[in-house]
Amino acid sequence: MQISGSVALVTGANRGLGRHFASQLLARGAKVYATARRPELIDLPGAHVLRLDITDPASITAAADAAPDVTLLVNNAGLDTVTNLVTGDLAAVRREMDTHFWGTLGMIRAFAPRLGGGAILNVLSVMSWFNYRGHTAYGAAKAAQWNLTNGVRLELAPQKTLVTALHIGVVDTDMSRNHEGPKIDPAVVVRSALDGLEQGRIEVVADEWSGQVKASLAGDPSTFYG
């Protein structure tokens, strides 16, 4: 995947990682469609701004029609409702799945036919591989999104579309503003992800914590849940 000269669409580009993705893609010579549910919040000179709500199929169709030349799809939009699966608001649990699983799948289904020789980058999480109390809906949705990524990669291989998973821990964005521990610089995360795309990698593990969690999966699960 050569980013210079590519045409990228970034979801959730109004803030956080999405804004960094759009900005760095522009700097690397890509044409960028920067999208958000509230496009008026996007302030990125040089970007083509589109309204997009990935939980709304009609909105996805409209974005696909407005951006017919996309060669790189960055599925970044996400949320954490801070909800537990058993006792939490079921509507919030569904919102997690609607965003991370169904929204990502809807975007891929809409754009895949034009991505032969192009790429998809799905922004996942270290929580694709484990879970913890208070955020179990998020963890379940990210795990589903991870295996969605693996499945889509198999299906799109014949058309030579690169499908890359980005796994990250706690990134210093609005979503993690209440987290008191160490945080990763979002600019560093995005640079690693885009470098990985250009290297043709199917997985980018962007920080040490994510690497440690992935390495632990062959061990005893009581490490996390005992």
Q: What percent of the chain has pLDDT over 70?
A: 95
* pLDDT, tens digit (0-9, with 9 covering 90-100), for 130-178: 998 999 999 999 999 999 999 999 999 999 999 999 999 877 666 656 6
CATH topology of domain 7-225: Rossmann fold (3.40.50)
With a pLDDT cut of 90, the percent of the chain lying above it is: 87
Helix (H) or strand (E) holding 16: helix 16-27
CA distance 105 to 43: 27
Residue 111 has pLDDT above 70, yes or no: yes
Q: Is the pLDDT of residue 208 over 80?
A: yes
Q: How confident is the model at residue 184 (pLDDT cuts 50, 70, 90)?
A: confident
Look up residue 179 and give its two tokens: 């987290």
Q: What are phi and psi of 119, to 5 degrees?
A: -155, 155
Cα 31 to Cα 5: distance, rounded to the nearest angstrom: 7
